[in-house]
Structure formats: C-alpha cells, structure tokens
Amino acid sequence: MGSLTVTMTDVNGEIRSFSDVDEGLNLMEVAKARGVEGIFGDCGGGCSCATCHVYVAAEWMAKVGEPDDIEFGMLDMVSDVQRENSRLSCQIKMSADLDGISVTVAPASSY
C-alpha cells in the first residue's frame, strides 16, 4: 500500500478519502479499486471514453496541469458539463506532487 492521499467526491456527493494510495496509479484506477460511484473507466484508461470525467479542485489545477490534445478532444465530447477544471481521471497519475489532491466526479460519468 502506498501513502498518498486522495479525496474524491462521488457522483452522489459522498466524500471519500483514501490515505494509502500507491504512486503511479491514475485516479480512474484508484476510483475503480475503491468503488467510487460515478467513475466507470470503460476504455481502461485509454483516454477514449470520457467515463472517468472529474472536476479537479481549483487549488490543484496548477499542479495537475493542462490536458494534452487527445484528452482535450475527448473532454470536448462531454461539453455539456465541461468546466475549466475538467479532466479525465485516467490521465492524472499519482505522484508525491499530487499528494492530497481533491477531485469531484462529474455527472456525465454516470450515464
């Protein structure tokens, strides 16, 4: 077990916090392993389904960084709920830099 902390607000508004997350896992994998409601990860992390859409907490945006072109294109397909802090959780890889990150599952991930 790792030692990084991740907080996720699921699609029902329930706040889940985990303090034993392994470095190197992406947030979609973390959510799936912990049963966070609303994250499906249908494509297995290939950046081609957008069922792992999350909103990154404002204070974490700078550290997470901008989506690359492929991710940006996928996010565009969920434009009804897209926000400036929209990211695909499978593209956010846990590292010491992101220890303590907080994200909220986007409603579109629950269709």
Pick between residue 3 and residue 52 the one whose CB is nearest to ligand FES.
Answer: 52
Binding site for ligand FES (CB under 6 A): 28, 41-43, 45-52, 74, 88, 90
Q: How far is the CB of 1 from ligand FES (least distance, A)?
A: 23
Judge whether 52 and 34 are in contact, CB under 8 Å.
no
Pick between residue 90 and residue 94 the one whose CB is nearest to ligand FES.
Answer: 90
Give the three-state DSSP class for 35.
coil
Q: How far is the CB of 91 from ligand FES (least distance, A)?
A: 7
Pick between residue 67 and residue 100 the one whose CB is nearest to ligand FES.
Answer: 67
84 phi-psi bin (left φ>0, alpha ψ -120 to 50, beta other) = alpha
Residue nearest to ligand FES (CB): 90
Taking alpha carbons only, the member of 26, 38, 6 closest to residue 91 is 26
Q: How far is the CB of 50 from ligand FES (least distance, A)?
A: 5
Q: How far is the CB of 111 from ligand FES (least distance, A)?
A: 13
d(CA 33, CA 65): 24
Cα 36 → chain centroid: 11
